[in-house]
Amino acid sequence: MQLSAHLLLVAAATATVGHAAVWKITILDIGTRENTCSRQVQACQNNCGGPSLAPMAFCNSTTMAWGCGCLNNTPNMAVWNWPVPTADCSGSLNVCNTNCGASNATSACFENCTKTHMCNTEDAPVSYTSSSDVAIAPLYVGPAVSYKGDNLGNLNDGNDRSGLSTSSSAPAQSASNTNTQETPKGAATSITSVAATAFQLTSVTVFAAIAAAMMI
């Protein structure tokens, strides 16, 4: 099962032999991006209890920047389970396997892809796709750490992370005091601070990782 999947990937990788394929979520075709974005916004609205209770529920199908902030609750879906981070992880996994296939790698290479891309779990690589605003493109690439805070080593998805530190503190999941300056565009004044606080849960991982990267 596993082996035949690898063989298929090797075959599919012929076009990239000699060049590592590079993962970036925006290489997904526009239909897939729009579908993922639509599921992202819907998941956020559902999590908030309905569209009217989700003052910040966006996903830009051009950049895949996404954010979620509820009026009455902090979004309680684990970050690694939102549609955009899920698509980001599985795309990076596919490219990792493609790159193993393109380099005559041994099965250890494919096994590493599986180990470093435990999508939809806290061991998944942090997705740097969330943003504070629909018009602000996300980072896309950050330190190769899991949501749990483990250093994942080489994700083998073609992105150069050599200058990014993974040694600092683990990305927080529920810090409550950072990012309070964020004012989500379009959010009514009375709910701004609530929305910003709720938004933290989905964005704090990225901000913490950026902070970690800058503390080198």
Ligand X SMILES: *[C@@H]1O[C@H](CO)[C@@H](O)[C@H](O)[C@H]1NC(C)=O
Give the Cα separation of 41 and 31 in Å (integer): 15
Question: Residue 104, interface with ligand X (CB under 6 A)?
Answer: yes
Smaller CB separation from ligand X, 74 or 166: 166
Distance of CA 117 to the CA centre of its chain: 12
CA distances from 170 to 6, 13, 73, 154 (A): 32, 34, 25, 17
> Restricting to residues 120-139, which ones interact with ligand X according to CB under 6 A?
134-135, 137
Site size with ligand X, rule: CB under 6 A: 16
Which of 1, 3, 15, 108 contacts ligand X by CB under 6 A? 108
Rank residues 40 and 74 by Cβ distance to ligand X and give the closer one: 40
DSSP string, 30-86: HHHHHHHHHHHHHHHHHHHTSGGG-SEEEE-TTT--EEEE-SSS---S-GGGSHHHH
Q: Which of residues 52-71 bind ligand X (CB under 6 A)?
A: 60, 62-63
Indicate the residue among 113 and 172 with the shorter CB distance to ligand X: 113
Please give the residue ranges that form the binding site for ligand X (CB under 6 A): 17-18, 60, 62-63, 103-106, 108-109, 112, 134-135, 137, 153
